[in-house]
Structure 1
């Protein structure tokens, strides 16, 4: 395990808040964190970010990518979540299409909205934020969580039943129980307290500590065991479930499944692999910009939608993910939930 020494936090006048879009890089069964080297992995993920993504990822990812699907051209990180499927009453499945967030430039293909914040949704903070070091990675949530009570304790991992793309509340710990007029949004907030030493841990979570609160509220102070405040990373993914609203099961049961076979949403989870080039993220965190004011060299280099959409990686698995499928790819996911080891 590689160790890092971090200097004591310094009070700064203002720390940046980033919000930006990343189009879809790939949708396939690869997971270089939880199942490194396995081709295919247990279930389908949507991946965004740098094109160095593959089944086994080590070292400084920021020096390995040649393009990124994200707004900032210095960000070769990878961000991924389990994909979503609709189950028809006849037993067949269809992948739910992903749509762009209303706050992002038009034309982004699928993807996610990514946040690096310190305080809350509307303002910068005044704490020193330390950027992640090369090789850093983490996960949040676990597909082994299978009760509502346990899901409620996973603060920041939520679903939103959209009236339109601007809907943000209420946040639910499980899938909506009725058709949503504007689709479903999944929200994943990662911990923002780091032990300052380990870029990873066996469960991909113990090197981090979560003081986050619901929604984009400012997280609490970091404990002495994990004293280093890092950016509060969060993902928003919008699924266009509206095309299935007239197919809602007659018995009222939820027809949507996360790719590992979860139709409750209790086990929603996400993965992060740091890949910002050089000290670009630290420069951004030390600035006072907010959201799109950080683009165009102020201080981060950025790119247009066409370049974002043109970056992609080929699937390592020859597998049909389009149209109506007889089963979830990966044998329905329940087998995968038993075999893949996550921290519960």
Structure 2
């Protein structure tokens, strides 16, 4: 696609004495104003684009003549242009997290009518700070508020049959977050920013600050329990048995809220309505593939592939709700709307991955595998298995955080009789989720992988939409009561008789 830039030449004209006199008067007024109100504002750090000359990457190029780096070269005669399809994106790496305050997009004639501006501290987890479906092109000067090292324009609808094209992509801001509206983030992510409305992933929270979504009812009066309970070594758990509800969707309502197809393909379980536009409100109106009818939560993970063939778990899968701390009596229900990501889609540390699992990847009699085994016994009963555990300590303040993990923490081993205890930064003990997944694949496993990559990139997402009363009853009747329960909240072991059922035969709370 070619572009023609038309510019009208400046016309020179001799200055008249009157014009000169007027200029002197204006200057005197400004000078006098300095004494009355202080110095005039001439420039600030915000006037210099932080993006100038920084590394840039893009989803695609129309051709080598339209490189991504053209948008930060300061030359309005060079431009980036994408492939002729939706969606497309371009992002700049500022080198370190900054408080982004303004973005200027200088569009060529091929512009975005629908796009988002997004920020990220790690280049993986993104938060939208601006969105429109009525873009008009030209030069757009957009005020935003968000903390990020990376800033991205994510286009979802083009103005024409061509791609997206920018002369310049300028990011303005300061090297530290503003001091207003701090919401006591965890010590691992001590960042603050101006308070702004909750994003579309909410539906139950109050405000969001720099990617944090506040819980509507924060828990601030809890200290981690160091007490030693009775029956310390027993079982304290129940099961959520859920089957696959949706597959082959490149959606992720936590990491890419509202951006259909922006993610790698996922396999969803539980709620039947989960998609990129999912909110807690939409989940509560949906249906579930879980046995417990009160479990309307959304669970999802990267899809497993054998070559190019999608492989999904068959039948009910087990998601354990366990006590992650030694004092199981301190475990309480998740707040409605809590969400988090377990693991990392870009993980390359196989040892770190193995440490968060029960037995690593399993198939047949092969255990403790850091990665997907190259071969498994070619027997009908053999499947690839994984049991991957989530953090079980909550900060009590946030339903979500910028990286979708910092508001959660794994418990720590005190090496005393207290055993495993939540850290002071995350004092609220909640159930420990453990995905126990089985995929019907065996034999030659050399082409088996996840849509996120190799085995250690396995991860999963959770958005809590349990009926509050049902979840509380299951926790109290199973975890706190030191029982090993099935999906009805029943412990059938002989030594636990008589063991009441929490749910009735229809898996509903009576």
TM-score for the superposition, normalised by structure 1? 0.68
Correspondence list, 1:1-344, <5 A: 1-3=213-215, 4-5=218-219, 7-8=221-222, 17-29=237-249, 30-60=251-281, 63-65=284-286, 67-87=287-307, 93-99=308-314, 109=315, 111-118=316-323, 126-152=328-354, 155-156=356-357, 159-163=360-364, 170-180=367-377, 181=379, 182-211=382-411, 220-242=420-442, 245=443, 248=444, 254-260=446-452, 262=453, 264-287=454-477, 288=481, 289-292=483-486, 294=489, 298-301=501-504, 303=506
How much has 1:290 moved relative to structure 2? 2.9
Aligned residue pairs total 267
How much has 1:128 moved relative to structure 2? 1.6
Does the 8 Å contact 1:85/1:257 carry over to 2?
yes
Runs of at least 5 residues in structure 1 that lack an aligned partner in the other structure: 88-92, 100-108, 305-344
In the TM superposition, what whole-angstrom CA distance separates every residue of 1:314-334 from its partner, at most 9, and x where no partner exists?
Answer: xxxxxxxxxxxxxxxxxxxxx
In the TM superposition, what whole-angstrom CA distance separates every residue of 1:19-48 from its partner, at most 9, and x where no partner exists?
Answer: 131111111222111111111132211111
Greater radius of gyration (CA): 2
- Structure 1 237/192 Cα, relative in aligned 2: closer, same or farther at 3 Å? same
In 1, Cα distance between equivalents of 2:280 and 2:375 = 45
In 1, Cα distance between equivalents of 2:350 and 2:419 = 23
SS in 1 for 2:367: coil
SS in 1 for 2:384: strand
Higher strand share goes to which structure? Answer: 2
SS in 2 for 1:279: helix
Does the 8 Å contact 1:136/1:199 carry over to 2?
yes
How much has 1:157 moved relative to structure 2? 7.4
How much has 1:57 moved relative to structure 2? 2.5
Give me the CA root mean square deviation. 3.2
Runs of at least 5 residues in structure 2 that lack an aligned partner in the other structure: 1-212, 492-499
How much has 1:295 moved relative to structure 2? 5.5
Greater relative contact order: 1 or 2 (C-alpha under 8 angstroms, separation 6 or more)? 1
Does the 8 Å contact 1:62/1:276 carry over to 2?
no
